[in-house]
Amino acid sequence: MAKYVFVTGGVVSGLGKGITAASLGRLLKMRGLKVASQKLDPYMNVDPGTMSPYQHGEVFVTEDGAETDLDLGHYERFIDEDLNRYSNLTSGKVYWNVLNRERQGEYLGQTVQVIPHITEEIKHFIYMGARSSGADVLITEIGGTIGDIEGQPFIEAIRQISLEKKRDVLFIHVTLVPYLSGSDEHKSKPTQHSVKELQSMGIKPDIIVTRSDRPLSRGIKSKIAMFCNVPVDCVVENTTLDTLYEAPLMLHANGLDEVVCRELGLPGAAPDITPWLEMVDRIKNLSKTIKVAIVGKYVSLHDAYLSVRESVYHGGYENGCHVEILWIDSEKVCQENAKEILGEADGIIVPGGFGDRGIEGKIAACQYAREANVPYLGLCLGMQVCVIEYARHVCGLVNANSREFDPNGSELVIDLMEEQLAVLRKGGTMRLGAYPCKAAAGSTLARAYGKTEISERHRHRFEFNDHYRKQLEEGGLLVCGESPGGEVVEAVEVPGNRFHVGVQFHPEFKSRPNRAHPLFREFVKSCLE
């Protein structure tokens, strides 16, 4: 029978509930337990798929094609488990499901209310998360901050679960303990008020994780324990760190996993932290440095490319190299200034995106990389940009673009292929989730993976237009990856360059800090050459 850990946050947002939940998951996995994670978001969007990246950062895609909150990326990178459609729930999806059932008569004419119908829908989702994963421990993060009106149905739902599952449920509350330099002391009052608010909703936290920039004294921990009605060892310190991946080690040193196992009656074997400790030590002692330009249109919010950023770092870790990222606004790049803007970069990445804003700057960046023989990695839209650039400047298709096209005309490149796509969305088609790919033997793609049969996650609407494949291949572009039947082009590369690869999929979703994705590992390696 699964155990349930619920992680809430208080005082302010952005305290790192997701990293706390992910770190706990890693520690429990180190103890030999099977772990799964969930994120419950109170906003009314059905999912983040149609939201601007400036709202909640990147959209993370699971193996089964769910478009989810970026925190699921943290979960997967830390616990190294593939999550699924039962890993992210929004208020919008809850109300959507309940209202559809009401319209279909499933409630037999009842008055549909927040309690029990909305809360039952939330509880069903949580229970399905445990059942579908077969986890020993399901860790569920509640988005937002205690006191937010939109989060109340979620809090009520987990309160009910604590009654139904009794000793199989544990509550962790992550809260801010600010330091006032004027009086040279930490203040516990915000935590006290946050816990009081949580208790007024019927939930007593079992563990309080304190976020602070400085270590807490024994006295302040004892004060928090007394006023919040928990044992002193259940006040767990979470201080700001130099590297994200040090968080599990820090929380372990402060006893988080030991207390969780004690409170839930889980097996008490000490975790084997040695491999993670060695990884963190490697991260903190990187001997080389390179600069990688990420050329996109959302670069003012780095979380819009969170998985790309982390994957580049992972590639650096495996190559003993610190990666300094240059965030380049693609709208400010053109053929005339590309060298000036990108000249200090040892490598260039063009990540995914939608819409035509900033496309010409990305094409200019790709052209500069190809002509200057600077390593280039194009992700999703970055592959389409790679094809467009090659078609324009090598094959003479000067009008190449990514519009819907007349196959008898002179334009390129990317065709809507509805028979290949599964999910109807926003009036168009969307290819989501894991699809197989066959890498061409001897290609950069195949050498990176060390095999020719691969599977990667997708999130895109447009496809390579096969009408121009022969012309592009005769011009020197190598189609190095395609679907098993050859219907869909999945990857291209420019032979002769150090590294010039574009892939239609999103390899960043499968990279791990202790196991970099092969494409990012080889990309960084080429940047060092």
Alpha helices in 34-173 (DSSP H): 53-56, 71-79, 91-103, 119-133, 152-165
Kindly report whether the peptide bond that precedes residue 116 is cis, defined as omega within 30 degrees of 0: yes
Joined tokens for residue 45: 């969007």
Show the CA angle centred on residue 296, arms to residues 290 and 297, nearest 5°.
Answer: 145
Looking at the DSSP bridge assignments, the partners of residue 455 are 436
Reply yes or no on whether 380 is catalytic.
yes
Q: What is the pTM of this model?
A: 0.92
Compute the half-sphere exposure of residue 42: CA atoms within 13 Å on the CB side of its CA.
17
Q: What is the C-alpha end-to-end distance of the chain, expressed in Å?
A: 52
- pLDDT score, position 401: 82
Distance CA 429, CA 391 (A): 25
> Which residues are CB-neighbours of 89 under 8 A, at least 6 positions away?
38, 39, 40, 41, 122, 125
Beta-strand pair 347-350/376-379: parallel
Reply yes or no on whether 506 is catalytic.
yes
Contact 35, 81 (CB under 8 A): yes
Joined tokens for residue 419: 């028979």
User: What are the distances in angstroms from CA 397 to CA 90, 324, 417, 496?
Assistant: 45, 36, 22, 22
Joined tokens for residue 449: 């993976």
Task: Please count the other Cβ atoms lying within 10 Å of the Cβ belonging to residue 358.
Answer: 21
Residue 446, by phi and psi: left (phi above 0), alpha (psi -120 to 50) or beta?
alpha
Of 508, 517, 522, 527, catalytic: 508
Of 308, 277, 276, 283, nearest to 80 by C-alpha is 276
Of 480, 506, 517, 522, catalytic: 506
- pLDDT score, position 403: 58
Secondary structure element (H or E) that encloses residue 524, with its range: helix 518-528
Contact 54, 304 (CB under 8 A): yes
The sign of the torsion formed by the CA atoms of 178, 183, 184, 186 equals: negative
Mean pLDDT for back-to-back runs of 10 residues, the chain (529 residues): 96 91 97 96 92 91 95 96 96 96 95 96 97 96 94 97 96 95 90 96 97 92 96 95 94 96 90 95 96 96 97 97 98 96 98 90 98 98 94 90 52 36 39 96 97 96 87 96 93 96 97 97 97
Distance CA 105, CA 98 (A): 11
Joined tokens for residue 422: 């599964």
- pLDDT score, position 375: 98
Can you tell me whether residue 420 is helix, strand or coil?
A: helix
Beta-strand pair 60-61/67-68: antiparallel
What is the number of residues in the chain? 529
Of 261, 380, 386, 395, catalytic: 380
Contact 126, 165 (CB under 8 A): no
- pLDDT score, position 400: 85
Contact 35, 135 (CB under 8 A): yes
Q: What are phi and psi of 76, to 5 degrees?
A: -65, -40
Residues 226-237 as b or e (16 or more Cβ within 10 Å = b) = eebebeeebbbb
Joined tokens for residue 27: 């520690």
Joined tokens for residue 448: 């990176």
Of 302, 308, 291, nearest to 519 by C-alpha is 308
Can you tell me whether residue 363 is helix, strand or coil?
A: helix
Reply yes or no on whether 228 is catalytic.
no
> Which residues are CB-neighbours of 11 under 8 A, at least 6 positions away?
145, 175, 176, 190, 191, 193, 194
What DSSP string describes 457-504? EEEES-EE-GGGHHHHHHTT-EEEEE-TTSSSEEEEE-TTSSSEEEES
